[in-house]
Amino acid sequence: MSVLSAVEGPEVVAPDLTRFVVPITIVIIIGIFMVQRFGTAKVSIVFGPITAIWFLTLAISGLVHIVDYPVVLWALNPLLGLEFPATHIGISFVVVSAIFSAVTGAEALYVDLGHFGRKPIVLARFGMVFPCLLLNYFGQGAFVLRVGVENVESPFFEMQPEWALVPFVVLATAATIIASRAVISGMFSLAQQAIALNMLPRMVVEHTSETQSGQVYMPQINSMLMIGVLLLVVSFRSSAALSHAYGIAVSGVMIVTLMLLVVVMWRNWKWHPLAVIAFGVFFAIVDGAFFAANASKLFRGGWVPAVVAALVAVVMWSWMAGRRRLSEKTRRDEVPLQFSVDNLSKKKPNTVPGTAIFLTSDIEGAPTALLHSLKHYKVLHEQNVILTVRTSASPRVPDDEKVTIDAYNELFSRVVVTFGYMETPNIPKALVLGRKLGWKFDIMSTSFFLSRRSLKPGPKNGLIRYWQDRLFTRLARNASDATEYFHIPTGRVVEIGTQVVL
């Protein structure tokens, strides 16, 4: 919507350019997604100064009109804000819906935390972004009041002097391109966290910064987003039409965020129940009013984000349900780990030099790769490690808490590695931390044994179970390889295949 609105700016200068708005927007959007692979740090060297110039230009253009018509500052009186809905009940909801986009964007702050951290975002927002936007909004209001609302179609562009209009349109287009790119980068952070929490299948994650772990690029997410955005542009063809979908999406996000925040305040922060209820009710009234104001747009495009949200929810639900059934299935078929360790220590097979690490998500059961390795090779390594990777509910886990080691006997030991949901799971780097606990880890004498499961849908057991199993199977087949996801050197990996019927 931002790119469309910026490209629509030249219509003010030359209305004949209207037919080129959608093609130009498509070209720009494809360019935005193409530069994602270069990473936030590299692109920011160019985009950062442009963004700063843009906000300063907004502030100056607004301040000029505030000086010409300072009466607009009466809008700071909160009593006028309360008086308006009381005296204009008929159009209050329409107005609230129209101005809703002025307060949006805050929902993107959280996803940007993984790229920049809290301090830079707070300084940028309160030091430049919010003041400049407020000056521009007041400037638009002053311009409309001075020339008359009936004489204005696009105050944002019309309030600029004629000599500055073309440069302003170019700068607006560049700024919206940058803003759109930042939102896409935030989406990468959210997807990475969802994968870490086992809510989505593994996907390729490429790191674009050597100093900031949160700056990532995900090719699969990038491609899916680009296709979806292009479909929206071609379907709606104008920012005004697309705003119907945008408003209900953002207001819905605010309500869901409030629900989650209330849960965190109650369960994690241990707030008093009355304080939680008071907080929740107050903001539910505010957010509910915004959502109700945008609900009228449901059948004019607002259904799009609802459908997209439903599809994403179905994918996540199917993935989590499939993982749970797969875990239950393999747990029933697996031999208890303690039983296997005891038997192997009594009837010790032939051993070979080196260390074997068997990855498993089940702490209680013997890894399938271990059992199949014994079945086919009939040997053990001198050191055998049962490795489990866990994801913490915290964003990051300190290095001294990341690795725990427990020895079963001289042949076997248990290692649990815990990563925060915002961290990149790099197993070799984590295992190096085990040296502080007395484990002499050497990657060159270590082999990683992974079990590669070939999933087969089971017999039809209800319509929902039937299509859910097939969706999970399709997602699992397209998931990224565990070797790549955990950053294990491919030359140190042995994969053993098994077939599982869901």
DSSP letter at 225? H
**Which residues, other chains included, contact 305 with Cβ-Cβ below 8 Å and sequence gap of 6+?**
245, 246, 248, 249, 252
Task: Give percent helix, percent strand, percent coil of the chain, each to the nearest 5.
Answer: 70, 15, 20
In this prediction, residue 406 carries a pLDDT of 87
The model carries a pTM of 0.73
pLDDT of 123 strictly over 70: yes
pLDDT of 44 strictly over 70: no
Maximum pairwise Cα distance, the chain = 94
Mean pLDDT of the chain: 83
> What angle is formed at CA 143 by the lines to CA 138 and CA 146, rounded to 5 degrees?
120
Q: What single letter denotes the amino acid at residue 22?
A: V
Asked if 201 contacts 475 with a C-beta cutoff of 8 angstroms, the reply is yes
**Which residues, other chains included, contact 329 with Cβ-Cβ below 8 Å and sequence gap of 6+?**
500, 501, 502
pLDDT of 212 strictly over 70: no
Closest CA to 138 of 201, 52, 234, 63: 63
pLDDT of 114 strictly over 60: no
Q: For residue range 282-304, what is the model confidence (pLDDT) as tens digits? A: 999 988 888 887 777 778 778 88
Closest CA to 472 of 320, 316, 319: 319
Contacts of residues 177-180 at CB distance under 8 Å and 24 or more positions apart, as own/partner, are 177/3, 177/6, 177/28, 177/31, 177/32, 178/47, 178/50, 178/51, 179/2, 179/51, 180/2, 180/3, 180/29, 180/32
CB atoms within 10 A of CB 249: 18
- The tokens for 65 are 């009109």
In this prediction, residue 391 carries a pLDDT of 85
Q: For residue range 328-358, what is the model confidence (pLDDT) as tens digits? A: 777 776 778 888 888 887 888 888 899 999 9
Q: For residue range 427-458, what is the model confidence (pLDDT) as tens digits? A: 999 999 888 888 888 888 899 998 887 777 76
Q: For residue range 10-32, what is the model confidence (pLDDT) as tens digits? A: 666 666 667 788 888 898 889 88
What are the beta bridge partners of residue 239?
A: none
User: What percentage of the chain carries pLDDT values higher than 90?
Assistant: 22
